[in-house]
Structure 1
Amino acid sequence: MKQDTATNPGGAFEPAYLALRAKEGRLYSDAELRMLPEVPSDHPYAAEWELRRLSAGRLCRWLGAQRRPLRVLEVGCGNGWLAHRLAAVPQCVVVGTDINRQELAQAQRVFVRSNLFFTDTGLDRFTPGSFDVVVFAAALHYFPDLGGALQAALALLKPGGAVHVVDTYFYGNREAVAAAARSRAYFASMGCAGMAGYYFHHRRAALAPFRPRLGNRAEMIFGLLRRGARPFPWYTITKAVAP
């Protein structure tokens, strides 16, 4: 990441984001990237990568179950690991877009498939109605305007197409305020206070007008009951088919 509503690739966001990623140990070597989402059990982000492995598998199964050619856009593809996984699904052509040119260049170098493409094209530069699926994976919190981002994604879909939002939390009003305060404190502690201006805690109420379908309700309930790692919701927003 990821991609805010600005169309200027990189800009001030990229150096701030990369500085934080470096301090967190989230910039991966080519060899490590090829293995994602698989990481060693003692990896500092092992629990997080396990959740992302599960969500990636779920999304790949959904794509495969459509049993037809699909054009898929992943918005905020970062280093490309998920786009590469999606491109392994039969009949899928996948485009990954991001404004972070450093990770994008790594994705282009590491993941080479005839049906996989990487670009820094902004959402407003793609042809409307040219995709069957748009994926936001751990990306929407870099967009200041949730509604605008989702509307832009829906415009890119063919009728009956779907936006999938994975690996992303949404908050109640009080939760959002507390989470934003925690993020500001965390970024400051990492010496990257400026990142607070690029990281947004979107509310469930702002998502509601799009009538999202929660595809993993049972998993989320089970995850809360067993008090394990908090699962990510999997939301699907379908573009209406004209009568």
Structure 2
Amino acid sequence: MINPGLNAEFINEGIYVLSEIKNDFEEIYLKVREKEKRIYSDNELILLPFSSSSNPHKNEWNLRAKSFQRFKEYLKTKKQELNILDLGCGNGWFCGQLSKSHNANFYCVDVNLTELKQAGRVFSSERIKFFYGDIFSAGFSENSFDIITINAAVQYFPDLKRLIERLFRLITESGEIHILDSPFYSVNEVENARKRTSDYYNSLGFPEMRNYYHHHTLKELSDFKYKILYQPNSIENKVKKFSLLKIRLFRGFILRFDLWNCNSL
């Protein structure tokens, strides 16, 4: 399964390493995750996005489970065996769950080696491979993937347009990019959102994390054509601080929205 055009430098506890390992982001990110009670045991991880009633983020996971189910149903419309790249895969729950019902090849990429190792341990499968790598330097061949997903991770990329252009080079001619459960803000709200984020990370005791969290607007995608495929009713009433969206991009650029509120950032 491994390759489209990959030349992994070496394997670290089952994780294919595609670029230099850097610990600065991972160290602060994991400290924040622990403070937020988002570090999960193997037994908890294998169930996600379906969480127990004791999970402090149960309501959020309920919403993410709905997004997951919609995407899972969407994949059923695809007849061929797919190559799927999951960018910002974290602990691997998304593709780990999808692999139970879909005969696709999953390539899961992140720069968090700790969570990648847990993912490789919990979701061990011939159809799933986990990679440590910077997507801008990782050695994936162009036109390799049928679908690329970015699930609740786009906020960790500072330049959204540059990211999309890079991913377009990696998908096939009929390929798609799906951005799921990711925060987007109105242009007028960005500055307030940045202040909320700064205040939030200050309150956790990790003010430096604000340097890794980026606030994107749909205006950044103005160079792309797009069409809204899904939009909840009464959207104005639901979106107050920012929206978490599900976006599907083709080379013609189509957006599919799954919006819900988050009050912290």
Tell me the TM-score normalised to structure 2 length: 0.82
Structure 1 equivalent of residue 174 of structure 2: 160
Mapped contact 1:86–1:94 kept (Cα < 8 A):
no
**Could you tell me whether the CA contact under 8 Å between 2:182 and 2:243 is conserved in 1?**
no
The alignment status of 1:66 with 2:78, answered yes or no, reads yes
Matches within 5 A, 1:98-109: 98-109=110-121
Bigger mean CA deviation after superposition, 63-72 or 186-195: 63-72
| Residue 46 (structure 1) aligned with residue 47 (structure 2) | no
- 8 Å Cα contact 1:72/1:92 also seen in 2: yes
Residue 27 of structure 1 aligns to a residue whose secondary structure is: coil
Q: Percent same amino acid among aligned pairs?
A: 32
Q: CA deviation at 1:140?
A: 0.7
Instruction: Provide the rounded CA distance (Å) in 1 between the counterparts of 2:183 and 2:222.
Output: 14
Cα deviation digits, residues 16-60 of structure 1 (max 9, x gap): 100000101000001110111111234221111011111111111
Aligned partners of 1:226, 1:156: CA distance in 2, in Å?
A: 35
Return the match for 2:159 from 145, 169, 176: 145
The answer on 1:184 being equivalent to 2:198 is yes
- Between structures 1 and 2, the one with greater helix share: 1
Q: Deviations over 1:50-79 (max 9, x none)?
A: 111111111111112111111000000000
- Is it true that 1:33 corresponds to 2:45 in the alignment? yes
**C-alpha displacement of 1:14:** 0.6
Secondary structure at 2:214 match in 1: coil
With over 3 angstroms needed to count, the CA separation of the structure-2 counterparts of 1:224 and 1:42, relative to structure 1, is farther
Change (3 A) 1:24 1:53: same
Q: Deviations over 1:170-225 (max 9, x none)?
A: 111121111111000000110110000000000110023222343321x3x25665
Matches of 1:176 and 1:198 in 2, distance apart? 15
Per the alignment, residue 208 of structure 1 pairs with 222
Bigger drift between 189-198 and 78-87 goes to 78-87
Choose the corresponding residue for 1:195, options 198, 201, 209. Answer: 209
Trace 1:14-25 onto structure 2 (pairs within 5 A): 14-25=26-37
1:26 is aligned with what amino acid? R
Equivalent-residue separation in structure 2 for 1:231 and 1:179 (angstroms): 11
- Of residues 90, 97, 107, the one that matches 2:109 is 97
Q: How many Å separate the matches in 1 of 2:128 and 2:86?
A: 11
Amino acid at match of 2:90: G
Corresponding residue number in structure 1 for 2:187: 173
Alignment length (residue pairs): 232
Q: 1:213 to 1:41 in 2, by over 3 A?
A: farther
Question: What CA distance in whole angstroms lies between the structure 2 residues aligned with 1:113 and 1:158?
Answer: 24
Q: Secondary structure at the match of 2:197?
A: helix
SS of alignment partner, residue 209 of structure 1: coil
8 A contact 2:20–2:133 mirrored in 1: no
Give the whole-Å Cα distance in 2 for the aligned partners of 1:209 and 1:58: 27
Q: How does 1:130-141 map to 2 (within 5 A)?
A: 130-141=144-155
Give the gaps of 5 or more residues in structure 1: 1-6
Between 1 and 2, higher relative CO (CA 8 Å, sep ≥ 6) is seen in 1
Matched residue SS, 2:129: strand
Question: Aligned partners of 2:30 and 2:238: how far apart in 1?
Answer: 35
Task: Report the TM-score when normalising by structure 1.
Answer: 0.89
Name 1:3's counterpart in structure 2: none
**Structure 2: stretches of 5+ with no match in the other structure:** 1-18, 253-265
